[in-house]
Amino acid sequence: MEANMTNKEILELKCEFDTLTRPDGSILFCEGETTVLAGLYGPVECKGSKMLTDKALIEMNYRPKSGLPCVQDRFFEATLKNTCEAALAAALHPRSSIIITIQEMHNNGQLLSCAINAACLACLDSNIDMKFLFASTTCFLINDGSLQIETPPIKENIQAVFVFTFDSIKGDVVVSHTEGVFSVEKYKLALEKCREQSKYVFEFIKSKITNRITQT
């Protein structure tokens, strides 16, 4: 089947813990050449009108590499917030705030999925309660009709971009984002290709957190 992956299609993942000293959990995460820095603070006391009496308030701050945030940056921020709100057990921490900050370091095409994976690892590193883990992957549709995980060397050859985020329980799609022009068939193939890649991402996340626990 076209959506099946070979070992060559698995994108290299790297991470480094404790890159920041003040957050309760922090991670430098690399997805291919795309790199982001994530930090989580909380639960901390929440004051004022933002306070929620039945659950924690999830505050997401996404910072671009340079300059002021643009419309796409605000979209990334909203997507990250929605994903974390779905995964975190916020009801266990009423009247508090959980603050997650994502800093873009380098973008080679997988920025959204890289940021989502970094957020998951930051949550795990902070030991905050979660309902499920989540893993995100990016897939590119090239002008010749092929689908691939790695960023094409010539960006002009990209016809469409697919980003899917899955939960660790049933493998359901938590959030999806698409750009460009594509057929329904290509969408389905990209979904299955990303689902296969997400299994590798989940294995990576679990292995890194297990090693983290055994070393502490």
Q: For residue range 200-210, what is the model confidence (pLDDT) as tens digits?
A: 999 999 999 99
- How large is the average pLDDT for residues 120-129? 95
Is 81 within a domain?
yes
Residue 71 lies in a domain: yes
Residue range of the domain that includes 47: 7-215
Q: Do the Cβ atoms of 151 and 108 come closer than 8 Å?
A: yes
The pLDDT of residue 8 is above 90: no
The answer to whether residue 171 scores a pLDDT higher than 50 is yes
Q: What is the pLDDT of residue 216?
A: 66
- pLDDT tops 50 at residue 159: yes
- How far apart CA 1 and CA 34 sit, in angstroms, is 28
pLDDT band at 10 (very low <50, low <70, confident <90, very high): confident
Mean pLDDT throughout 81-108?
96
Question: Is 132 part of a structural domain of the chain?
Answer: yes
Per the CB < 8 A criterion, the answer to whether 96 and 55 are in contact is no
pLDDT band at residue 2 using 50, 70 and 90 as cut-offs: very low
User: Does any domain span residue 12?
Assistant: yes
Sign of the torsion angle spanned by Cα atoms 56, 22, 119, 80: positive
Pick from 84-88, 100-104, 154-158: least confident: 154-158
Whether residue 1 is contained in a domain is answered as no
The verdict on residue 2 lying in a domain is no
Q: What is the pLDDT of residues 15-70, one digit of tens each?
A: 999 889 899 999 999 999 999 999 999 899 887 788 898 999 999 999 999 888 89
| Cα dihedral: 71, 142, 171, 55 (round 10) | 0
- When divided into structural domains, the chain yields a total of 1
CA–CA distances in Å: residue 67 to residues 25, 59, 64, 112: 26, 21, 7, 18
Residue 59 lies in a domain: yes
Residue 113 resides in a domain: yes
Rounded CA separation 170/195 (Å): 11
Q: Residue 42 sits in a domain of what CATH number? A: 3.30.230.70
